[in-house]
Structure 1
Amino acid sequence: MNRCAPMLCTAVLAGALLSGCVSIVGGTALRGQAGGPTSSTVPTLTESDLDGVLLNAGQVNGVMGATGIRVTASSQSMSDNSDGVSDVDCLGAIYGAEELVYHGSDWTAVRDEVLQEPSTDNEHWVEQIAVLYPSAEKAQKFVEASRTSWEKCGGTSIDIDNSDVHSTWKIDEANVSGDILTQQSNQRNAGGWGCQHALTSAANVVIEAWACSNSIDDEAQSIASAMLENAGKK
């Protein structure tokens, strides 16, 4: 079985190529619910705040129901996987922190972190991303554009190709009704391996999360919600 997370089969993080198939991986009260942060309660952030928005490995293990997940890669730049997808218009629905997707949105800084078990056939894969903008309006504008793109890509299949890997992913319909956008995708012929993608914004930061496993549910949404809580503490 050639199992991989769609967004980082070939992504370059921290100067190291994550080639082949790895499982990548990125919680609590949702934004706008009782006790959770809201757009008005999250302060304007600076680049020095971004690392504090990310969850630590212990928190990620808790969300994923695991014990051995650890940080395996990190980056302060966007990735470019546009040449490896069959439909570039759906790049943002299948990969995170993509240069082409964020191009022209006036983002100013990014923190991108991957967590997984250290084994080659790991059970979980998480990616958590925080992207800084000069204003809340520009952060929200990016999320709204992504909402439209995710809706268009729902119900389609995307092929991912690079020098080592070919995989096909079925993208489910997007759930765009709440403050945190979510969308699930499943890799064909991979024994149930799938991922949830979550995206939201608060104040001047965009939060993006991926969570992958053989029994994925709402883990990426939980990670994004917990990241919002961290942002509210800045």
Structure 2
Amino acid sequence: MSCVSRVPVSCAAVLVSALLSGCVSTVGGTALRDQSAAPDSLDVPTLTESDLDRVLLTAGEVNGIMGATGIRVTGSSQNMSDNSDGVSDVDCLAAIYGAEQLVYQGSDWSALRDQVLQEPTADNEHWVEQIVVLFPSAAKAAAFVEKSRTTWQKCGGTSIDIDNSDVHSTWKIDTADVSGEILTQVSTQRNAGGWGCQHALTSASNVVVEAWACSNSITDEARTIAADMIKNAVKK
């Protein structure tokens, strides 16, 4: 999962290195939960690559959702990452990382925006990743989400080991909630003081959005981020 290996370096490195500072954080925090509209209740137009940046939330909006004040953008990328060599079960790569080259391979995606946000401190209390991926059609975007639904269900209840450079961590992947328009799944890092992440994924029109929200008291923040990204997609 994005949380398992992302530290702000350069964003291709941000998205391949790790949010190690967040993942070992033992600082508590209480996040705010927002009730947002589901994608199926919104009329999203067909988007182009020039629309992708505005789908992303602002740092202020992310702070509001996470119940924080100091979160800001620490890295961004327009390329897929490849962390497949660092996971113990590559078949569950989609449940543990976002914007992965191997996961999106063959899906016919054409462009993406990937952004990491966190407090710029060594022991950050929150870590967020927001991703929007462009497809040639709504059918292609929806097909990717359906494929992910199956993978997330299969990987729920398992543990995944992550080896990235000299860092090792183990993540417990909970049962996925795949009953609604927005898929969600929570993963918790072993021996990290309760640090965990919610992963959310959905599609609307010809885009797929992914969100990761991590803290020591994570609830439904990634779902809210994903839903609000879809709201931004409406505003063409």
TM-score by length of 1: 0.91
Residue 83 of structure 1 corresponds to which residue in structure 2? 85
> Residues 14 and 84 of structure 1: is their aligned pair in 2 closer, same or farther, counting only changes over 3 Å?
closer
Aligned equivalents of 2:154, 2:8: Cα separation in 1: 24
Note if 1:18 corresponds to 2:17.
yes
> Residues 32 and 73 of structure 1: is their aligned pair in 2 closer, same or farther, counting only changes over 3 Å?
closer
Aligned equivalents of 1:143, 1:19: Cα separation in 2: 25
Residue 169 of structure 1 corresponds to which residue in structure 2? 171
Residue 151 of structure 1 corresponds to which residue in structure 2? 153
Structure 2 regions of 5+ residues with no counterpart?
24-33
CA RMSD of aligned residues (A): 1.9
Question: What per-residue deviation string (whole Å, max 9, x for no partner) do you get for residues 66-121 of structure 1?
Answer: 00000000000000000000000000000000000000000000000000000011
Q: Is the 8 A contact 2:9 2:75 kept in 1?
A: no
The alignment covers a number of residue pairs equal to 224
1:74 to 73, 76, 79: 76
Q: Is the 8 A contact 1:7 1:94 kept in 2?
A: no
Residue 28 of structure 2 corresponds to which residue in structure 1? none
* Superposition misfits of 4+ residues, deviation over 6 angstroms: none
Q: Is the 8 A contact 1:81 1:98 kept in 2?
A: yes
Note if 1:29 corresponds to 2:29.
no
More helix by share: 2
What's the offset of the Cα at 1:18?
Answer: 3.4
> Residues 102 and 12 of structure 1: is their aligned pair in 2 closer, same or farther, counting only changes over 3 Å?
farther
Question: What per-residue deviation string (whole Å, max 9, x for no partner) do you get for residues 190-227 of structure 1?
Answer: 01000000000000000000000000000000000000
Question: What per-residue deviation string (whole Å, max 9, x for no partner) do you get for residues 2-61 of structure 1?
Answer: xx922536996245563571438xx6423157xx52xxx100000000000000000000
Residue 178 of structure 1 corresponds to which residue in structure 2? 180
Identical-residue share of aligned pairs (%)? 70
Residue 115 of structure 2 corresponds to which residue in structure 1? 113
Residue 49 of structure 2 corresponds to which residue in structure 1? 47
> Residues 129 and 20 of structure 1: is their aligned pair in 2 closer, same or farther, counting only changes over 3 Å?
closer
> Residues 52 and 96 of structure 1: is their aligned pair in 2 closer, same or farther, counting only changes over 3 Å?
same
Q: Secondary structure at the match of 2:147?
A: helix
Question: What per-residue deviation string (whole Å, max 9, x for no partner) do you get for residues 157-215 of structure 1?
Answer: 00000212100000000000000000000000001000000000000000000000000
Q: Secondary structure at the match of 1:112?
A: strand
Residue 29 of structure 2 corresponds to which residue in structure 1? none
Amino acid at match of 1:115: L
Residue 8 of structure 1 corresponds to which residue in structure 2? 6
Structure 1 regions of 5+ residues with no counterpart?
none
Aligned equivalents of 1:186, 1:58: Cα separation in 2: 26
Q: Secondary structure at the match of 1:5?
A: helix
